[in-house]
Structure 1
Amino acid sequence: MESWDRAGVRARIREMAARDPGLVRFGADTHRYELAPRLPEAEIRAFEESHGIDLPVEYRSFVAEVGNGPAGPSHGLMPLTVSRPEADEEWAVDAEWWEDRLPGRLAEPFPLTAPLPGRIGVPTEALTRGTLTLAEQGCGIFTRLVVNGPRAGQVWQIDPDRGGFVPVSPGFRTWYTDWLESP
């Protein structure tokens, strides 16, 4: 897998911030075009071992080479892990984020084999197993990375009230790069 151009990603984010000093672009007032430090390999490995998973390579390499959020699509990329002082940050304590870290949730395979469009009639907890929250879009809409099962590596959006649970990108790199390249 090709590694990330850390300097290039950070330069593009600085450029985006310079074009949006008032933080008017959707989500910018939350992530503020800032990237947290990269995660040490030992911390990533400990996360994987504690959850019984291997993170998709594109995402894993991002948090290891570029940063642990938050600059990114929607209200920003949620961190893979947080240290104690960061635990009080609004973007780090979203209920979806904490649910993902409950024992066994990530190790279960993602249950969908096809998109589920429209209003979702089952509890979202049953559908989000084997996925990791990447970003919140607001109004109960979340972008999730499939970490386990046949669709591992894909990025899906869940909108329980209107849009269902549908794939939005074949992988993390495409999803994040699309945001970086957007005007």
Structure 2
Amino acid sequence: MGSWDESAVRARIRQTAARDPKRARFGADTHRYELAPPLPEAQIRAFEEAHGIELPSAYRSFVAEVGNGPAGPGHGLMPLTAPRPQADEEWAADDEWEQDRLPGRLATPFPLTEPRPGRIGTPADELTLGTLMLAEEGCGIFLRLILTGPRAGQVWQIDPDWGGFVPVAPGFHTWYTQWLTPP
């Protein structure tokens, strides 16, 4: 998947928001069904060059054609290039976002070749090398986009205490469109 229909995605988000005026759906109070503007190509390219990576095409085209967060799964899609606006409280996602931007971290090979279900027993920061945090689900659970290695492009969920580090979607497009199609 290399391209998105911005108007169709934004229409789906508006429809979902209209069906959820009290923001009862998990995370809606955080992202408020709002999308930031897309990022300019030069800004995306500069991010990739600064981190020595190529973003998976579905994610890259989303931030270029649709928006740079936050409407999305969990507490919302984290922005690629600018931290979440300062809120009344600090979120664990803020630290994860900053850690991902440390030099060399995103380009480091993803250390897992297979999922690691259950308690992972290894510090999460060692397992998340070569991944980009997409969203927070609360309680230390994060959704991450694999950037390097044979699993590149997949979306995995890391729950260090109970769920392990396991795939949840074969790619960003599937993961995001599943959220766009609420039950």
**TM-score, normalization by structure 2:** 0.95
1:148 positional shift: 1.2
1:88 positional shift: 2.3
Partner deviation per Cα, 1:149-169 (whole Å, 9 max, x = no partner): 111100000000000000000
**Are residues 71 and 51 of structure 1, via their aligned partners in 2, closer, same or farther at CA, if it must alter by over 3 Å?**
same
Measure, in 2, the Cα distance between the counterparts of 1:141 and 1:16. Answer: 24
**TM-score, normalization by structure 1:** 0.95
Measure, in 2, the Cα distance between the counterparts of 1:170 and 1:27. Answer: 22
- The aligned residue for residue 127 of structure 1 is 127
RMSD between aligned residues: 1.5
**2:154/2:169 contact within 8 Å kept:** yes
Q: Does 1:139 align with 2:135?
A: no
**1:82/1:92 contact within 8 Å kept:** no
Measure, in 2, the Cα distance between the counterparts of 1:36 and 1:92. Answer: 21
Identity %: 75
- The aligned residue for residue 106 of structure 1 is 106
Measure, in 2, the Cα distance between the counterparts of 1:129 and 1:62. Answer: 22
- The aligned residue for residue 37 of structure 1 is 37
Q: Does 1:74 align with 2:74?
A: yes
1:87 positional shift: 4.6
Unaligned 5+ segments in structure 1 are none
Measure, in 1, the Cα distance between the counterparts of 2:164 and 2:123. Answer: 12
